[in-house]
Structure 1
Amino acid sequence: MKPAGRAEPTSRQPVTLAANQPDRFYRGGAAIAELRGAADAAEWGPEDWVASITTLFAQPRAGLSTLPDGTLLRDAVSADPAAWVGADHAKVLGDDTALLVKLLDAGQRLPVHVHPSNSFARSHLGCRHGKTEAWVIVGTSGPNPTVYAGFREDVDAATVENWVAAQDSEAMLAALNPIPVKPGDTVFVPAGLPHAIGEGVFIVELQQPTDFSVLLEWTGFAEPGDPSAHLAIGWETALTCVDRDGWGGRVDDLVLHTADRRSPVVPLFTEQTEPFFRAERIHADSAVDLDPGFSVLVALEGNGTLRTEHGGAVPVKRGDTLVVPHAAGSSQVDGGLVVVRCRPPAPEKVEAS
C-alpha cells in the first residue's frame, strides 16, 4: 500500500475515461447513451472510442482519447511505455498499445466493407497494422439481430468489381453469411473478410489500432468519389485486400456463444485472436483477482471497486470505461461487477500476425 497522502504517478493509476465519440457516417448511439446513463441519446454518436491512440482516417487528432488532466493518452504512453504497456510489450511494439476498443451501436445496418491485413497495410498504407477485429455482443434490439461475415461461396474478382461499380447492395449482402446474434456471442473478423453489422446490434469491439475500411457498399454512407472509401489508393488496389473465398462451411469457426458461462473469468475468444488482442468477461459476484497488464475495462453491470497493487482503488459502476496501466500491478474487482476486459496481443504472438 502507498503511504497516506502520497499521490501515485499517473502511469500507475487506473483512469476512468469520458466518452470519446468522433463523427461517423451512420446512425446510432442510443444504446451507448443508455449504458452510460446519459439523459439525451440524441447527442450521442454510434461509436465511443475507448483508450484510443488512433485517429480517424486521414485526420490528425479526431478519435484520440484524452485523460482527465487534458493529456492525450497517446502522449502519456509515449512518455513512459514500459509503465503503460509493460516491458515485454514495449520491446516488441514500443509505445504502441496495439489495441483500439469501441462501443458500437448500429442504429442502422452498416455497409458491406472490409479491412486490410498487416501485410497489405505495410505495402500500401505505410502502417504496421491492418485491421483485424472482433465483436462482443452486449445488447440487441429488433426482431432479428444479425451480423454478416464472409462470402457464402467463392467470388471472382470481376464480380466484386462489378458489385462495387454498380453499388449493388442487395447482391453484396445476399452473398454474405448471415449470423443471428444475442448478448454473450462473440464474432472474430479477420482482416480481408467482407462483413456488415445489422441494425440493433450493440457491441464492444476490439480491433487493431487503425481506421482502415474499404467500403464495398458506399452509397448512402460516403459521398460519390470520396477517396476515403478506397483508402485513397484507388479501387483497383483496394479491392485486392478482399478475401473472396467461400466461408459458408467454416463461418461457425468465427463465433463463440458464451451467454451461459458465469465463471469468474470467461475467455471471449479462441487462440486465433492472440496475435491481435485478447478479451475476457469478468463476473465479480465475489472478488476476482486479475494479473498485471495494460487493459481496457467496460463495465456492463454492477457497482463495485477496482483495487490495484500500485495504483490505488477506483470506484466502478455500470457504463464506466477505464484504462489500466501495466504498472498498476495486480488488481481485483468486486461488487457484482460484470466487466469486459480487453487486452493487447500477447507479445510473443505478435510476430506471427
Structure 2
Amino acid sequence: MVASPRAPLVLRPRLAQRVWGGRRLDPAAPQPIGEAWEVYEENEVEGGPHAGHTLAELSAAHPHELLGRRARGTRFPLLIKLLDCAEWLSVQVHPNDEQARELAGEGQLGKTEAWHILDAAPGAELIAGVRPGTEAGLLREAILGGRVMDHAHRHPVTTGDTVLMPAGTLHALGPGLFLYEVQQTSDLTYRVYDWDRPASAGRTLHLHESAIVTTTAQATLMTSEALQPGETRELTRCDYFVLERLTGGAPLTGDTRGESFHALTVTSGEARLTWAEGGVTLAPLRSVVIPAALGEYRLAGDFTALLSRLP
C-alpha cells in the first residue's frame, strides 16, 4: 500500500526532443529539446518516502489527500510543461472533453490550456485564434483546403504575457519563445499546418478532425505588471485551473486548505519551501506538487515562481 502523501513531492521532469526545440532545457543533449514535462501523471517522485512512485499511483491511492476536495475524479488533472521554441510549432487545435470522447475514444480528455511567456526574443509572435470576422463555414473550408494560414491571427508577445487558450482555439508558438504551459491532463492534438515540414509518422496532419473542433473564438491575451516582493497575483483562470505568479524577496505563506494541490514551478532564482515537518530547496526550473492535505507552507528566497491549482 502506498503511504498517504502529506509532504511536498519533488518531481523528476521528462524531457522530449522536438524538431522545433532549442537548447535551454538541456544544452548538452544531442538533439534539440522542445519540452520538459514538469508535472505529469507519469512523473516519478524524487527522494523521500514516495521516491519512484508516480503521481498517477499516488492520485489513485489517495485522491482526497493529494488532489483535494475540488477534484472531479482520481486522475491527476493537470499537465504542466516548459517549452523552448527555436522554430515555429505546428499550427494546431485541441478538442473539448465531449469531442475528445467522440473522436478519440472513451476516457479521453479535451485540452484547454494557458501559456505564460518566461522569455520572448525581440519580435517574437504566436498564433492565437482566427482573424476577427472569420465565418465558421469559411474557416472549415480553409482547413480542409490547406489554407488555414489565410485566417490565422498572429499576435506579438513579450516577456510576462499570459494567454488563455480554450479548447477549439487555433494556435501555434513562434521562434524565440520560452514559456510555461498548464493544461488539462491530455496530449490530444490535431495538427492543421506544419510549415511544410516532412509529414513523418509523428507529424501527420489531422485536417478532418481539425475542421470539426476548430472554432472562431478568440484567445485571451493579458500583460502582467511587475509584482512587489512577497506578492502573489492571479494571471488567469478557467473551469480547469487557476494560474498564479509569485515573487520572493519577502516571506510568502501558502495554504492548500484541503481544497486543491498546489503545483509550484520555480522560474528564476532559488526558493526555500518549508512546512511544519520539513523543508526543501527548489532550483530554477524545478517543480513540486504540494498535496492538498498539507495545509500551510512558507516560501523564502529571491525567486519567481508559477503556481497552478484547481479552481
Q: Where on the TM-score scale, by shorter chain, does this alignment land: which range? A: 0.7 to 0.9
Scaled by the length of structure 1, the TM-score of the pair is 0.77
After TM superposition, the structure 1 = structure 2 runs for residues 142-161 of structure 1, keeping only pairs within 5 Å, are 143-156=122-135, 159-160=138-139
Alpha-carbon contact 1:185-1:259 (below 8 Å) kept:
no
Equivalent residues, number: 300
Query: Which amino acid counterpart does residue 77 of structure 1 have in structure 2?
Result: S
Distance 1:43 1:76, change over 3 A: farther
* Residue 296 (structure 2) aligns with: 330
* Residue 67 (structure 1) aligns with: 45
What is the aligned counterpart of 1:110 among 67, 85, 89? 89
* Residue 11 (structure 2) aligns with: 17
Residue 159 of structure 1 deviates from its aligned partner by 4.6
Provide, for residues 35-71 of structure 1, a one-character-per-residue CA deviation record: whole Å limited to 9, x for no partner: xxxx525455201112212xxxxxxxxxx21222222
CA RMSD, 1 decimal: 2.5
Residue 205 of structure 1 deviates from its aligned partner by 0.3
Question: What's the secondary structure of 1:240's corresponding residue?
Answer: helix
Residue 163 of structure 1 deviates from its aligned partner by 4.1
Distance 1:197 1:282 in 2: 24
Residue 32 of structure 1 deviates from its aligned partner by 2.5
Distance 1:225 1:265, change over 3 A: closer
Distance 1:225 1:314 in 2: 42
Distance 1:12 1:144, change over 3 A: same
Alpha-carbon contact 2:191-2:210 (below 8 Å) kept:
no
Query: Which amino acid counterpart does residue 65 of structure 1 have in structure 2?
Result: N
What is the aligned counterpart of 1:89 among 51, 70, 74? 70
Distance 1:155 1:290, change over 3 A: same
Query: Which amino acid counterpart does residue 17 of structure 1 have in structure 2?
Result: L
Distance 1:238 1:148 in 2: 16
Alpha-carbon contact 1:194-1:243 (below 8 Å) kept:
yes
Alpha-carbon contact 2:144-2:211 (below 8 Å) kept:
no
- Which residues of structure 2 form unaligned runs of 5+? none
Distance 2:101 2:253 in 1: 38
Distance 1:106 1:65 in 2: 22
Provide, for residues 285-335 of structure 1, a one-character-per-residue CA deviation record: whole Å limited to 9, x for no partner: 11100111312211122223101245x211122222212211222111001
* Residue 171 (structure 2) aligns with: 195
Distance 2:108 2:145 in 1: 33
Query: Which amino acid counterpart does residue 12 of structure 1 have in structure 2?
Result: R
Distance 1:287 1:333 in 2: 6
What is the aligned counterpart of 1:286 among 229, 250, 273? 250
* Residue 27 (structure 1) aligns with: 20
Alpha-carbon contact 2:125-2:156 (below 8 Å) kept:
yes
* Residue 263 (structure 2) aligns with: 296
Q: Within the alignment, does 1:207 sit opposite 2:201 as a pair?
A: no
Question: What's the secondary structure of 1:216's corresponding residue?
Answer: strand
Distance 1:237 1:111, change over 3 A: closer
Residue 123 of structure 1 deviates from its aligned partner by 2.9
After TM superposition, the structure 1 = structure 2 runs for residues 124-273 of structure 1, keeping only pairs within 5 Å, are 124-125=103-104, 126-127=106-107, 129-141=109-121, 143-156=122-135, 159-160=138-139, 163-165=142-144, 167-168=146-147, 172-218=148-194, 220=196, 223=199, 229-230=205-206, 235-244=207-216, 247=218, 254-262=220-228, 264-269=231-236, 273=237
Distance 1:192 1:284 in 2: 36
Distance 2:87 2:292 in 1: 37
Deviating more after overlay: 208-217 vs 221-230: 221-230
Query: Which amino acid counterpart does residue 89 of structure 1 have in structure 2?
Result: R
Distance 1:308 1:147 in 2: 39
Query: Which amino acid counterpart does residue 79 of structure 1 have in structure 2?
Result: A
Residue 117 of structure 1 deviates from its aligned partner by 1.2
Alpha-carbon contact 1:317-1:337 (below 8 Å) kept:
no
Distance 1:303 1:185 in 2: 22
Residue 162 of structure 1 deviates from its aligned partner by 5.2
What is the aligned counterpart of 2:283 among 313, 317, 322? 317
Scaled by the length of structure 2, the TM-score of the pair is 0.86
Residue 228 of structure 1 deviates from its aligned partner by 6.1
* Residue 38 (structure 2) aligns with: 50
Distance 1:70 1:31 in 2: 26
Distance 2:181 2:263 in 1: 11
Distance 1:194 1:222, change over 3 A: farther
Alpha-carbon contact 2:11-2:38 (below 8 Å) kept:
yes
Provide, for residues 262-287 of structure 1, a one-character-per-residue CA deviation record: whole Å limited to 9, x for no partner: 36101111xxx331111111112111
